[in-house]
């Protein structure tokens, strides 16, 4: 295959650049890859849009969830399959499609590349990959995006959780998931295409990336002690049994609030309420590696 490799130099605090250097040092690849270090998300989008006319068979994104999020619409428009070399702070999209730390090496060195089709949800017309959220989760995402956690990955996310707890203020929401309706005060609301966000937290443990529906995790009004006590359980998906947690599924989710509330998707700003989240007819094609993996994952 002829692949266009787009490297986000800011992903993971420079981890993307180091990962590409590791891959190159590991020896010849099974596919022709043109590496481009992008200067902005808009440049990456332009390169993806032009790729089909340049004889490119697929795109490889080197970065994290933000890198993937900002490329989704362009990938859908270009109708190109794409692979991921996880090199961000959370890497939840890669985790949700079953790609681990060694996925980049396996992908580029395996001749028997496969394709997995996954749904492409939207929130108010904006594409996202894994999870869109508001309330407590959105505040954590905002802090994480502003590097308020100081550290990367799960550790940095947990620092942001602590800071967001100090600002916790439940608020009223009117929610509709197809024919089911609910109204009341919430602490957080997550609309998920895949199970994980925040560096491996399983907010929607039953979510599947290709089942044509969105999984909603609604946490009603709870106090700080309860939220803090339940937090470790989210990594195992065990919060789902709490009486203040409601789980629903459906292809369309409508959210209304008394005043505009920020929405974050894949850790990126995604507008505000009122909002409609939905699964459309468009699916993405994700390149997945074969069994060969002669180059070990990074240490």
Four-residue CA torsion sign, 11, 14, 16, 17: positive
In angstroms, the CA 261 to CA 186 distance is: 12
| Assigned fold of 2-119+283-288 | Rossmann fold (3.40.50)
Residue matched to tokens 């069994």: 291
Length of the chain: 299
Q: Mean pLDDT across the stretch 200-211?
A: 95
| Assigned fold of 126-281 | Tumour Suppressor Smad4 (2.60.200)
Task: Kindly report, residue by residue over 236-251, the tens digit of the pLDDT.
Answer: 999 999 999 999 999 9
Task: Kindly report, residue by residue over 6-54, the tens digit of the pLDDT.
Answer: 999 999 888 899 989 988 887 788 899 999 999 999 999 999 999 999 9
CB distance 133 to 197 below 8 Å: yes
Q: Mean pLDDT across the stretch 129-140?
A: 94
Residue matched to tokens 């629903």: 248
Which residues touch 263 (CB under 8 Å, ≥6 apart)? 123, 124, 132, 133, 134, 138, 269, 270, 271, 272, 273, 275
In angstroms, the CA 205 to CA 160 distance is: 22
Residue 191 class from Cβ within 10 Å (0-12 exposed, 13-18 middle, 19+ buried)?
buried
What percent of the chain lies above the pLDDT cut of 90? 68
Q: Given pLDDT bands bounded at 50, 70 and 90, which one contains residue 149? A: low
Asked whether the predicted pLDDT for residue 274 surpasses 70, the reply is yes
Asked whether the predicted pLDDT for residue 153 surpasses 50, the reply is yes
Domain residue ranges of the chain, discontinuous segments joined by +: 2-119+283-288, 126-281
CB distance 246 to 218 below 8 Å: yes
Q: Mean pLDDT across the stretch 170-187?
A: 96
Predicted local distance difference test score (pLDDT) of residue 231? 86
What is the C-alpha radius of gyration for the chain, rounded to an integer number of angstroms? Answer: 19
Predicted local distance difference test score (pLDDT) of residue 59? 97
Q: Mean pLDDT across the stretch 274-288?
A: 93
What residues does 133 pair with on adjacent strands?
190, 264
In angstroms, the CA 95 to CA 200 distance is: 8
Q: What angle do CA 293, 294, 295 make, to 5 degrees?
A: 95
List the alpha helices (DSSP H) in the chain.
Answer: 15-25, 41-50, 65-78, 92-96, 103-109, 136-145, 153-165, 224-234
Asked whether the predicted pLDDT for residue 297 surpasses 50, the reply is no
User: For 36-45, 85-94, 103-112, 256-265, which range has the lowest pLDDT when averaged over its residues?
Assistant: 103-112
CB distance 286 to 161 below 8 Å: no
Task: Kindly report, residue by residue over 56-96, the tens digit of the pLDDT.
Answer: 999 999 999 999 999 999 999 999 999 999 998 889 999 99
The structure tokens listed for 159 are 């620092």
Q: Given pLDDT bands bounded at 50, 70 and 90, which one contains residue 299? A: very low
Average pLDDT, the chain: 90
B/e letters for 121-139, b = 16+ CB within 10 Å, e = fewer, are bbbbebbbbbbbbbbbbbb
CB distance 292 to 31 below 8 Å: no
SS3 content of the chain, % helix, strand, coil (to 5): 30, 35, 35
Asked whether the predicted pLDDT for residue 298 surpasses 50, the reply is no
What percent of the chain lies above the pLDDT cut of 70? 94
Four-residue CA torsion sign, 157, 245, 253, 262: negative
């Amino acid at each position: 295959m002829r692949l266009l490799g787009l490297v986000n130099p800011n992903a993971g605090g420079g981890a993307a650049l180091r990962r590409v250097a590791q891959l190159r040092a590991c020896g010849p690849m099974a596919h022709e890859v043109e590496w481009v270090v992008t200067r902005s998300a808009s440049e990456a989008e332009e390169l993806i849009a032009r790729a089909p006319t340049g004889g490119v068979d697929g795109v490889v994104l080197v970065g994290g969830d933000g890198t993937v999020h900002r490329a989704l619409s362009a990938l859908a428009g270009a109708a190109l399959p794409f692979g991921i070399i996880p090199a961000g702070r959370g890497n939840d999209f890669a985790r949700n499609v079953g790609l681990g730390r060694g996925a980049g090496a396996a992908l580029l060195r395996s001749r028997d590349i496969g394709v997995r089709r996954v749904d492409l949800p939207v929130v108010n017309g904006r594409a996202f990959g894994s999870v869109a959220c508001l309330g407590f989760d959105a505040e954590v995402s905002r802090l994480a995006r502003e590097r308020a956690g100081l550290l990367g990955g799960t550790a940095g996310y947990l620092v942001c959780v602590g800071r967001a707890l100090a600002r916790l203020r439940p608020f009223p929401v009117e929610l509709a998931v197809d024919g089911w309706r609910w109204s009341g005060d919430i602490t957080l609301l997550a609309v998920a295409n895949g199970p994980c966000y925040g560096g491996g937290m399983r907010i929607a443990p039953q979510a599947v990336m290709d089942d044509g529906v969105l999984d909603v995790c609604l946490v009603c009004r709870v106090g700080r002690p309860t939220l803090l006590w339940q937090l470790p359980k989210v990594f195992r998906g065990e919060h789902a049994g709490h009486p203040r947690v409601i789980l629903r599924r459906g292809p369309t989710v409508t959210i209304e609030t008394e005043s505009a509330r920020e929405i974050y998707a894949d850790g990126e700003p995604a507008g505000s309420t009122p909002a409609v989240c939905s699964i459309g007819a468009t699916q993405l094609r994700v390149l997945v590696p074969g069994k060969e993996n002669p180059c070990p994952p990074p240490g």
